Each structure stands twice: as C-alpha cells, then as structure tokens.
Amino acid sequence: MKILLTGGAGYIGSHTAVALIEAGFEPVVLDNFANSHPLVLDRLARITGRPVSLERGDVLDTAWLQDVLRRHRPVGVIHFAGDKAVGESVAQPLKYFHNNIGGAVSLMRAMSAVHAEDTTLTPTLVFSSSATVYGDPASVPITESFPRSHTNPYGHSKLVIEDMLAAVCAANPAWRVGTLRYFNPVGAHPSGLMGEDPSGIPNNLMPYVAQVAVGQREHLNVYGNDYPTPDGTGVRDYIHVQDLAAGHVAAIQALLGRSESFTVNLGTGQGHSVLDVVHAFEKASGRPIPYQIAPRRAGDVAQCWADPALALRLLGWQAKHSLDEMCADTWRWQSANPTGYRG
C-alpha cells in the first residue's frame, strides 16, 4: 500500500519513510529539495535495503500533483512539505502564506479532483501541525481542547490549514484527516545515517547544541534564565523523531481502519529545560557544551509540554525514547556527518 509523503526528503518525512517501510507500507517521497538534499534517498535505501520512489517537484503545482496521485494511487498522503522557520516567517510572511497555505490548498484540490474521478479512493490525509497553534498556553500540560492562537506567520499558517481541513471534511464526509500537533522534534535515526540538517545557523536548540559539541560553534546562547521554571530556562517537550515517525504510522493505520478524523498532540508529556538538554548532551557526547546566558528570545514561552493521553487512546501510540537517547542519536548523526548531507 503506497503512502505519498510530501516533503518526504525532509527531517521528519525521511524518518517516517523508514517507519512506514518497516510497517509494510510503500512510501513515495515527493519533494522539491528546497530544504533537503537528494542524498537522503541514498540513505533511505541503505537503511531499508530497498530503493524508495521519488517524485521531484513542487506541491504548488496542482496539475502535476494530480498526475502523481493518478499514477501511484496512494491509500494515504502525509503532508510534511512547507517552510518552518519562525523568524523567517516574521520577516517574509508571504513566503509562508504562499508555500504553506498555498501548498495545502493545492494538495487538497488535487486530492479532491482525483477523488471525484474515482470515488473508490478515499481522500486520506495526515497533516504536520505544531504545538505552535497553542500560542502562549495558559497552563501545562496542554490538551487538544486548549484555545488556539498564533504569534507569528508560521503559526498562523498552521492554524489556517487546520481550519481549512475541517471545512473540507465538513463539506465532504468522505475525507479522513489526522492532524498531528508535534511538540519539539529532535534526535536522529539510530544508524547515524539520517538526521536534522539545518542550513545556516540553527534556530533550534538541539541542532545548535550538537554543532557546539562538534566544534563548529563556540558556545550556546541560552535565551533567558529568569523564566518561572525550576532552573529559570525555557522548558519544552522534546520528542525523538523516531517516536514521531511511529506516530505517523499509527495515524495512517487509524485512518485506514476507521472513518473519523482526529487531531492529536504528539509529545512525551515531559518537560525538559535548556540546561537539562545541555547536560544530557554533554553526557552523550563526552564533550563540554560551553554556554552563555543571553536575553530572552522574542516570542518564546516559558514552558510548553503536551498531554499525550488522547494519542494513546485514539492511536495506541506513546513516546518511548528518553532525552538521553535523543542526545545520543543526535550525537551519532552529528559526529558522523559534521556538515550534514552536504558532506
């Protein structure tokens, strides 16, 4: 059974492709490589022992997407493709509205058109949403019924896409949609062959810490140590990308097995501070992580972690990997590939 992965060459998509193969599915990777490298396909083949199909192109091209859907007839689509840098979205909002919202519209239109031609194909979609849709939460842990808000155009794009999906499902009950709100994805494939490969200076904590450990950056800036948290630094729900990948398999299986759509958090339910991550990474790498306390980063919240109970109840899924494993796997990837896929 084929599953089309838009953005499948990216960080989360590539790990999900492996998990799908291990679960007996046949992933088809669709990507324009705007934020990934074609070498990912070689790594996928090395890990899984088989070639993975690639469709190189842009989700904004609706006619081409229809052609891809007609040729492969996937039983489901997982929509990862999009831009994800919060700061860039503030500087270039139209890029985010165009690629993220426009890409989702294009995909929904293509899936609707192909479904209209052949109603034996049920439009089945898993969407990469984010805990960013909770804005600055009033309390933790966060359940799916918390109010949604946005603090930047990236978050706004996720919120709009969630609403568009709800409207499409309301208009056509044939649609089955699983919306997954990821918390903070980190880690890498345990083989050390695949991991996160940010271009330029990393915005996110774990890849920055990994680059400090490998000697590419001098020190970490810790953005604020005066938050109302146990050690004063920001607290997040870091989730191993392998657990996240398993969550996508569970979501696809649930949608193929029953008719209702759902929205669930994918998180561990545990918060870790910036300094917890620094210390865990020092342990995993055996290297010191020098850091300096810097001012708070605009737009950051003090703490954010999931209540993952609904995902367990609906999908039978829960995260298994510890922060130590997240750091150990990140370190294996980073030390074996200090400049990522670019070699």
Residue window 266-285: x/- pattern of binding to ligand UFG, with contact defined by CB under 6 A = --------x-----------
* 80 belongs to the binding site for ligand NAD (CB under 6 A): yes
Residue of 96, 154, 227, 341 marked catalytic: 154
Q: Torsions phi, psi of 245, nearest 5? A: -60, -45
The angle formed by the CA atoms of residues 308, 314 and 317, to the nearest 5 degrees, is 55
Distance between CA atoms of residues 83 and 304, nearest Å = 22
* 240 belongs to the binding site for ligand NAD (CB under 6 A): no
Which tokens hold the place of 21? 């193969």
Closest to ligand NAD by CB, 92 vs 283, is 92
Residue entry with tokens 């990948």? 245
* 221 belongs to the binding site for ligand UFG (CB under 6 A): yes
* 185 belongs to the binding site for ligand NAD (CB under 6 A): yes
Which of 44, 43, 56 has its CA nearest to residue 343? Answer: 43
* 203 belongs to the binding site for ligand UFG (CB under 6 A): yes
Residues with Cβ within 8 Å of 302's Cβ and at least 6 positions away in sequence, in order, are 227, 228, 229, 234, 235
Sequence-ordered alpha helix ranges (H) in 118-233: 153-171, 205-213
Residues 235-254 that bind ligand UFG (CB under 6 A): 236
* 204 belongs to the binding site for ligand UFG (CB under 6 A): yes
* 132 belongs to the binding site for ligand UFG (CB under 6 A): yes
Q: Torsions phi, psi of 323, nearest 5? A: -60, -40
Which of 22, 33, 313, 320: binder of ligand NAD (CB under 6 A)? 33
- 154 has catalytic annotation: yes
What residues line the site for ligand UFG (CB under 6 A)?
A: 84, 86, 130-132, 183-184, 203-205, 208, 220-223, 234, 236, 274, 297, 300
Question: Catalytic site residues?
Answer: 154
